Structure 1
Amino acid sequence: MDRTTTTRPAASPATGPWDHASCEALIAELQVLRESMIEHEARLAPRLAAVDASFRDSAINLAHYLALRRYDLRRVQERLAAIGLSSLGRAETHVLANLDQVLGILRRLVGQEGRAPTRPEPTGLSQGARLLARHTEALLGAAPAERSARIMVTLPGEAAHDDALVAALVAAGMDIARINCAHDDAAAWVEMAARVRHHARQCGRPVRVLMDLGGPKLRTGALRPGPAVVHLKPLRDALGRVVQPARLGLRAGAGTAGIAGAEITLAVEGDWLELLDAGDRVELVDTRGRHRRLRVAERRSGGVLLECRRSLWLGDTTEIRRAGDPHGARLQALPHTPGALLLHRGTRLALLPEREGHPADPAAALPAIGCTLAQALAQVRKGDRVWFDDGHLGGVVRRGGTRKVEVEITHAREGGQKLGADKGINLPDTELDLPALTAQDLSDLPTVAAHADLVGLSFTQSAADVQALRAALAALPGPSPALMLKVETRRGFEALPEILLAAMAGPAAGVMIARGDLAVECGFERLAEVQEEILWACEAAHLPVVWATQVLEGLAKTGQPSRAEITDAAMAGRAECVMLNKGPYVVEAIRTLDDILRRMQAHQDKKRPLLRALKAWA
């Protein structure tokens, strides 16, 4: 058959993709590639021998994939595609078998004798897919009908006592319940797990429990609290007209129960409230020096409800009196506003080891904030970048030290940006030598091992971190839970191959792409390619992946998704599991994600598009 007879200009025999010379050149290049795979497998032999028997073929396939991806194969892919052959772009689960298949076809095209592989291939196309499915089921449980990707949901603290909430999550389609051990306490975690298992039995569907260890999370420390002040304002329409007055509840003494209908309820000293009747007018001077008059709307049991049609700021020095009376009562027990630093570009900020922070004042030239991990500050160097609060605020270290690190703010909103306590700190340029298991994690581990199906290792950065967790679990009585390794730092991403091999030393493990910290560490611009590379490497290792952070976050929090997050949720279906965070509309988010994943399953399998019939254009 004359292959050059097409609707396009015929390629010359010397340069066409089908000629002997071109095919023989490809054979030579692919043979070199094959030999490098075998050599890389031999170099990794001691590590491959250490993996669990169930992962032996998977580990070898990962070694071949790592060798394959050391080369720039884009030109080779173009030449293979021009002949109509596999371009090696979807070979993750069966790397050597795919390469040998292409080599076999090329050899037949040029009339060479078909040569059998020089050694058995670890996995073929169907076997690789079966191994990934088997390892996924071992970790995450059986997939629901018509949806292969599982849905994981982070439980809020109220799940420890709210049966209706947990029942709704299970009924909506939650396959794995995630409990974040950085919050609440062991008693609450046990309650959450028990309620999940109870309602899973009631619904007749399996739901597994993941408990995430807190890990060495670097956060800002405490700040001096702000002033004790409350701001109230009326509700206005688009024309600025008051449609609902500001409502303040008052109680005598230190009672904490709220007055129905009030935005906030405060205490007043003495028995002054006994003087007030419905319809009375009271007055005060607020913290700005503004005179305000309020009306007693109702007397309630133990207090009164006041209304004001203007905004007012109340402090612990504010005195309130009945109109015309010379004496009144002082407001009591106002809540302090959270402390915060207002930082501008060019501001110098002092990071202190585990000490209370403070704004700039004459006694302290620099505003300062504490750091929860003092040992991390000792490893920071001049020129290292520092990001705060999920990357919203950033700077560069200008002076290092064990007692204080000075950071110049280089990334902040115009007009300044506030930084409060308990906000994340990321040091993408700093090689932090911190164990993934903290003393608190080791204290929590017996509870986690006794009540969870999976244990999450936060901030996994090396094979040693994985080995430390396995050793700690092995020292506990009873069977060990499976491992979920969270990749959320640049160092963890760069060490991913050794982390995967360490994960395969046990019977069940998976990887979570924690995109929040990962985006800050690697750069938001690079997150797209980083998450893809993690997906590919884990597929080559036949290890399941959890796609996490901000999936349908707008929907879960506000009830309204953005267009971009719908697309993100569709892309997430290439992972074995997709994680939703908590929010008031999380049940609706589960149903929406379930629908998206079922639809996309007919169109996409990992990197491979599926061509089902399109009814819209029939």
Structure 2
Amino acid sequence: MQRDPAHLTAVAARLDALHDDLLRATGHAGAAVADAHPDNRGSAQNLAQYVELRQHDIRPLQESLAELGLSSLGRTEPHVLATLEAVRVALARLAGLPDPVVVDPPVDFVTGPELLAQNADDLLGTARNRRRTRIMVTLPTEAATDPGLADRVVAAGAEVVRINCAHDGPEAWSAMIRNVRRAERAHGRRVAVTMDLAGPKLRTGPIQPGPQVLKVRPVRDALGRTVEPARLRLTAEIPDAAAAASATATEPAAEEPAADGPARLPVVAVADQAWLRGLAEGDAVRLRDARGRRRRLRVVGVAGPDRIVEVDRTVYFTPGIRLRSGGETTRVGALPATEQRLLLHPGDVLTLVPSLEPVPVDAGRIGCTLPQVFRDAAHGHRIMFDDGKVSGRIEHVSPGAVRVRITEADGGAVKLGAAKGINLPDTDLRLPALTDADLSYLPFVVEHADAVSLSFVRGADDVLLLQRHLTDLGGNELGLILKIETVAGFERLPDILFAAMRWPRVGVMIARGDLAVEAGYRRLAELQEEMLWLCEAAHVPVIWATQVLDTLARTGRPSRAEVTDAAMSGRAECVMLNKGPWVGAAVEALDDILGRMDDHQRKKQSLLRRLTSWEA
């Protein structure tokens, strides 16, 4: 094919101009490169060059290079300058031009991918079997008391476990880690332990509780006929510790019901244990419920001093309701108060206040856990509640109140409860990256964990602050994972990565839950792609997180969409699964999906292995 020499010369000139811009960017990043850990300096230069490259729209140049049969620069991430130099030389020879003056790149075609692979191994451990992507599993509270849970997770294929410091405490965390170490010895392979610092999570304040009421109802068919009666566990209400000691001296301990077992209905006073003991299978307990309806409970089982009863009609119990069996009576004891929630519609006004006193459900206001909101928020800023189920715009800000006009509510109406997340994507909240609780947990993390995760990273200063505290505690070898879950963190990711690279072992978690709320679900796919590319240029391993195979982990059966999502997650160095009753099955499924996809896809590169699907 005849090629136009003038066109070849013009393409070469565009490449040379791009080359000069990359070299200038390397010089501008000199301080950040010098501050990087010695093992990361080449990666820091490559990151600076990639950031500069992506400041240009090179699509016309890519088309010209592809037409000439040359690399279109679409896979430059791990070795930016090396790719550009190779294309410049190839094009010069194709055009009959003198070889250009080339510069030794900070990383080449071999060392770039090797650095990323080694950094992932150092931070997260080696992936097992035939896959490159590791699997991380969040441990539930039960992992502290059930050694078999950790064993099942490790046996299924997880290489990393995650402990969330927002829950439980050092005693439970120690037990979890002991169980993980026992499991790794049993299965003959190392499992990395990461611990998440909760950070300054912004949440709604408390709401005054509702009445003490317990509603039970049977399962009915489409015609309203009872197909399964409701069950309750009658148990004695113990008013004080002395009475409790007296009771346990004469009665065997009641068996704990399963988490999905019948609801407890306490009856008042220790003396009523005699009333309970007098109930036998087949006996009837009669009452009038909170609505004055006559109801009859039937005793169907004995559990220590407790009695299991069934009822085939709906019952509302409140404290003080009389229960009669034979000639004896007792009363219903104290019940948990019902959770109250604010009902919100588009057009409603909701006022945030700094006080965390419980508010009435009809007050039109709710507390806010972080006072910085009243300093940093501004008129017109967007605000979301409860993972984006409710959205609004801020209409007015004062030191004591933020007035919000509700603009969207899922289904036209949403009940907003206490302790629900608040997102402010337009607001630059000046928050400390580490809370007092985080700082109190750091000594434990340094002593017991392999890596620590920093939540809600918004800028480089957050990273430097944690690094200083870890250094003071002698935790210089601890891995550092940065969770990007805000728009501010995404927009400042280059600076965050430069700061992170001062540390020897670093990674990034794409926390897609809060990030999707802040950026909008339509932008999430774009954001996670850009983060994967940028981190690959820095040779920083990525953890793909939030709701991966979530339906499978919770219900035992995946959705089609999440299987596709799991397949796409293999472009990261690690994938995180959340807890759930079927998390072991989720690990096994993800292990299989990632292993299969490894033969087809590596980062942005399609791998053309021999296909056997259509052989005769």
Alignment partner of 1:59 out of 44, 48, 55? 44
Contact 1:213 1:458 in 2 (8 A): yes
Q: Secondary structure at the match of 1:42?
A: helix
By how many angstroms is 1:279 displaced?
Answer: 4.0
Q: Secondary structure at the match of 2:372?
A: helix
Alignment partner of 1:292 out of 263, 282, 295? 295
Residue aligning to 1:135: 119
Contact 1:426 1:520 in 2 (8 A): yes
Contact 1:344 1:414 in 2 (8 A): no
- Give the stretch that moved more between structures: 526-535 or 211-220: 211-220
Residue aligning to 2:441: 444
- TM-score, reference length from structure 2: 0.92
CA distance change for structure 1 residues 101 and 311 in 2, over 3 Å: closer, same or farther? same
Answer yes or no: is 1:489 the counterpart of 2:486.
yes
Residue aligning to 2:250: none
CA distance change for structure 1 residues 277 and 458 in 2, over 3 Å: closer, same or farther? closer
Residue aligning to 1:26: 11
CA distance change for structure 1 residues 26 and 169 in 2, over 3 Å: closer, same or farther? same
Matched ranges for 1:263-412 at <5 A: 263-269=262-268, 271=272, 273=276, 278-298=281-301, 301-322=304-325, 328-361=329-362, 366-412=363-409
Query: How far apart, in 1, do the equivalents of 2:455 and 2:37 lie?
Result: 23
Answer yes or no: is 1:71 the counterpart of 2:56.
yes
Q: Secondary structure at the match of 2:453?
A: strand
Alignment partner of 2:495 out of 490, 494, 498? 498
Q: Secondary structure at the match of 2:110?
A: helix
CA distance change for structure 1 residues 507 and 415 in 2, over 3 Å: closer, same or farther? closer
Residue aligning to 2:247: none
By how many angstroms is 1:155 displaced?
Answer: 0.6
- The one-letter amino acid paired with 1:552 is L
Alignment partner of 1:215 out of 194, 199, 208? 199
Matched ranges for 1:114-125 at <5 A: 114-117=99-102, 119-125=103-109
Contact 2:319 2:333 in 1 (8 A): yes
By how many angstroms is 1:274 displaced?
Answer: 6.6
Answer yes or no: is 1:236 the counterpart of 2:205.
no
By how many angstroms is 1:163 displaced?
Answer: 0.8
- The one-letter amino acid paired with 1:247 is R
Deviations 1:154-199 (A, max 9, x none): 1111111211111111111111111111111112112212221222
Answer yes or no: is 1:196 the counterpart of 2:180.
yes
CA distance change for structure 1 residues 577 and 275 in 2, over 3 Å: closer, same or farther? closer
By how many angstroms is 1:328 displaced?
Answer: 4.2
Query: How far apart, in 1, do the equivalents of 2:257 and 2:181 lie?
Result: 37
Deviations 1:45-77 (A, max 9, x none): 111111111111111111111111001112221
- The one-letter amino acid paired with 1:66 is V
Q: Secondary structure at the match of 1:542?
A: coil
Query: How far apart, in 1, do the equivalents of 2:382 and 2:345 lie?
Result: 16
Deviations 1:429-471 (A, max 9, x none): 1110111111111111101011011011111111111111111
Alignment partner of 2:410 out of 413, 416, 429? 413
Deviations 1:255-276 (A, max 9, x none): 8946979722212236455775
Deviations 1:462-484 (A, max 9, x none): 11111111110111146541110
Alignment partner of 1:539 out of 536, 543, 557? 536
Alignment partner of 1:95 out of 67, 74, 80? 80
Query: How far apart, in 2, do the equivalents of 1:68 and 1:188 lie?
Result: 48
By how many angstroms is 1:34 displaced?
Answer: 0.8
By how many angstroms is 1:301 displaced?
Answer: 4.8
By how many angstroms is 1:555 displaced?
Answer: 0.5
Contact 2:277 2:305 in 1 (8 A): no
- Give the stretch that moved more between structures: 271-280 or 77-86: 271-280
Contact 1:259 1:303 in 2 (8 A): no
- The one-letter amino acid paired with 2:434 is L
Residue aligning to 1:583: 580
Residue aligning to 1:11: none
Contact 2:509 2:543 in 1 (8 A): yes
Residue aligning to 1:206: 190
Residue aligning to 1:9: none
By how many angstroms is 1:358 displaced?
Answer: 2.3
By how many angstroms is 1:298 displaced?
Answer: 4.9
Q: Secondary structure at the match of 1:21?
A: helix
Residue aligning to 2:26: 41
Query: How far apart, in 1, do the equivalents of 2:514 and 2:303 lie?
Result: 49
Q: Secondary structure at the match of 2:572?
A: coil
Query: How far apart, in 2, do the equivalents of 1:454 and 1:222 lie?
Result: 33
Q: What are the ranges of 5 or more consecutive residues in structure 1 without an aligned counterpart?
A: 5-17
CA distance change for structure 1 residues 394 and 288 in 2, over 3 Å: closer, same or farther? farther
Q: What are the ranges of 5 or more consecutive residues in structure 2 without an aligned counterpart?
A: 239-243, 245-252
- TM-score, reference length from structure 1: 0.92
By how many angstroms is 1:304 displaced?
Answer: 3.5
Aligned length: 596
By how many angstroms is 1:244 displaced?
Answer: 1.8
Alignment partner of 2:129 out of 134, 142, 145? 145
CA distance change for structure 1 residues 111 and 505 in 2, over 3 Å: closer, same or farther? same
Deviations 1:549-607 (A, max 9, x none): 11000001111100010011110000001111111100110010000111000000000
Query: How far apart, in 1, do the equivalents of 2:192 and 2:27 lie?
Result: 38
Contact 1:449 1:480 in 2 (8 A): no
Contact 1:473 1:480 in 2 (8 A): no
Q: Percent identity?
A: 51
Q: Secondary structure at the match of 1:332?
A: coil
CA distance change for structure 1 residues 57 and 360 in 2, over 3 Å: closer, same or farther? same
- The one-letter amino acid paired with 2:87 is V
Query: How far apart, in 2, do the equivalents of 1:134 and 1:278 lie?
Result: 66
Answer yes or no: is 1:177 the counterpart of 2:161.
yes
Residue aligning to 2:470: 473
Q: Secondary structure at the match of 1:374?
A: coil
By how many angstroms is 1:322 displaced?
Answer: 4.7
